[in-house]
């Protein structure tokens, strides 16, 4: 079985091919147009997807040495995401499906982040997944393939959003998450004790208070510029510490609550080095196996869409041309 995966939910236009013998190609065209605005501009994202999607899909097929007629199903991100951006991918996939009579599979982007862990590994069910991206922060009990129970999620900002918004306050460009990660490695995580919110609540998260607390903390400094010149790395480390402590403590609770022996990290923030280290240390102590996707499969990509489509095809979960994208799937 050869599956073409297409991803266009936010600011990456991506295509990949996954087959019975594994991942054959994984092409990502990142949109740079948003940098000057400090965040993703939805309408610009749609236009950029529209411009690059055909070339991206062609490259993915070329690199896999397959023609479109050798593709058995087209898996495409159905949501959640920016509706205009999703529409470009879904309409493109539908057109290809109709023109070449290839079955269509709608994929949930957040489920795909979880199944990114299956691209190179075979995590054992049941497991707990901590999915941490720019738009979502969720703890999911995965009992079997596509048998998921949402244990808890954020009430406000997602963890990636917290990194990006706090980074903006610190004067860093978008997306600030990876830059804060780099700077945090050079700083002192104990420099300032930022709040770790909702630790008493079982599986829900809240990160908007942390952003406010960083704002007030900097407002109190006489010379903010000079302070940041001296301590930007320390602030990045202290903020990263506060975010990752909450995430890892809640993941620990979820593992203990469910009694699972396996956990997986998923989504853009699982690329964070402090997060990876802390999660590995915590799971080791619990004698629990932790899977973390390779860096290129943590942030948005189409390999995760293709493998999720592959798993859905195995269960004959196909869609027809009535399939619609949903911003908040």
Q: Binding residues for ligand KG4, per CB under 6 A?
A: 10, 133-135, 160, 163-164, 175, 177-178, 181, 267-269, 271-272, 299-300
The nearest distance, CB 175 to ligand KG4, in angstroms, is: 4
Taking every pair of C-alpha atoms in the chain, what is the biggest distance, in angstroms?
66
**CA gap 110, 107 in Å, rounded:** 9
The nearest distance, CB 110 to ligand KG4, in angstroms, is: 8
**CA gap 266, 283 in Å, rounded:** 15
The nearest distance, CB 184 to ligand KG4, in angstroms, is: 8
**CA gap 179, 199 in Å, rounded:** 27
**CA gap 301, 13 in Å, rounded:** 8
Cβ pair 7, 89 in contact under 8 A: yes
Residue 163 binding result from Zn ion, ligand KG4, none, given CB thresholds of 5 to 8 Å by partner type: ligand KG4
The nearest distance, CB 99 to ligand KG4, in angstroms, is: 29
E strand or H helix that includes residue 291: strand 289-291
The nearest distance, CB 314 to ligand KG4, in angstroms, is: 25
Nearer to ligand KG4, 3 or 265 (CB): 265
Q: How far, CA to CA in Å, does 255 sit from each of 248, 276, 283, 303, 316?
A: 10, 16, 9, 27, 31
Nearer to ligand KG4, 26 or 272 (CB): 272
The nearest distance, CB 213 to Zn ion, in angstroms, is: 26
Nearer to ligand KG4, 152 or 177 (CB): 177
Residue 80 binding result from ligand KG4, Zn ion, none, given CB thresholds of 5 to 8 Å by partner type: none
Residue 272 binding result from Zn ion, ligand KG4, none, given CB thresholds of 5 to 8 Å by partner type: ligand KG4
The nearest distance, CB 271 to ligand KG4, in angstroms, is: 4
Nearer to ligand KG4, 2 or 183 (CB): 183
Work out the number of other CB atoms within 10 angstroms of the CB of residue 110: 24
Nearer to Zn ion, 61 or 82 (CB): 82
- Cis-peptide into 45, omega within 30 deg: no
Nearer to ligand KG4, 96 or 235 (CB): 235
**CA gap 10, 83 in Å, rounded:** 9
**CA gap 258, 151 in Å, rounded:** 10
The nearest distance, CB 153 to ligand KG4, in angstroms, is: 14
Cβ pair 271, 300 in contact under 8 A: no
Nearer to ligand KG4, 96 or 304 (CB): 304
Residue 175 binding result from Zn ion, ligand KG4, none, given CB thresholds of 5 to 8 Å by partner type: ligand KG4
Cβ pair 39, 111 in contact under 8 A: no
Nearer to ligand KG4, 80 or 309 (CB): 80
Residue 160 binding result from Zn ion, ligand KG4, none, given CB thresholds of 5 to 8 Å by partner type: ligand KG4
- Beta strand pairing call for 22-30 and 73-79: unpaired
Tell the burial category of 193 from Cβ atoms under 10 Å away from its Cβ (0-12, 13-18, 19+): exposed
- The binding site for Zn ion (CB under 5 A) comprises 133, 300
């Amino acid at each position: 079985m050869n599956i073409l995966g297409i991803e266009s939910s936010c600011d990456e236009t991506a295509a990949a091919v996954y087959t019975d013998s594994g991942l054959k190609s994984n092409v990502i065209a990142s949109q740079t147009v948003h940098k000057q605005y400090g965040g993703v501009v939805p309408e610009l994202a749609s236009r950029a997807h529209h411009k690059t999607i055909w070339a991206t899909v062609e490259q993915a097929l070329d690199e896999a040495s397959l023609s479109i007629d050798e593709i058995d199903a087209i898996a495409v991100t159905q949501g959640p995401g920016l509706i205009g951006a999703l529409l470009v991918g879904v309409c493109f996939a539908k057109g290809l499906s109709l023109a070449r009579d290839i079955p269509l599979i709608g994929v949930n982007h957040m489920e795909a982040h979880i199944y990114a862990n299956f691209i190179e590994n075979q995590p054992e069910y049941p497991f707990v997944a901590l999915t941490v991206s720019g738009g979502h922060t969720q703890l999911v009990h995965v009992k079997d393939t596509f048998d998921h129970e949402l244990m808890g999620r954020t009430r406000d900002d997602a963890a990636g959003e917290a990194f990006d918004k706090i980074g903006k306050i610190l004067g860093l460009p978008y997306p600030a998450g990876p830059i804060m990660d780099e700077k945090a490695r050079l700083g002192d995580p104990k420099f300032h004790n930022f709040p770790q919110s909702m630790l008493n609540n079982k599986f829900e998260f809240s990160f908007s208070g942390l952003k406010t607390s960083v704002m007030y903390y900097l407002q109190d400094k006489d010379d903010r510029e000079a302070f940041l010149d001296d301590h930007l790395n320390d602030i990045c480390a202290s903020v990263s510490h506060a975010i990752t402590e909450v995430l890892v403590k809640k993941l620990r609770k979820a593992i203990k609550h469910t009694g699972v022996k396996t956990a997986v990290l998923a989504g853009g923030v699982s690329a964070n080095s402090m997060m990876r280290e802390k999660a590995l240390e915590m799971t080791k102590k619990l004698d629990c196996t932790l899977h973390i996707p390779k860096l290129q499969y943590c942030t948005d990509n189409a390999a995760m869409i293709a493998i999720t489509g592959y798993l859905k095809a195995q269960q004959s979960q196909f869609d027809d041309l009535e399939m619609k994208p949903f911003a908040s799937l």
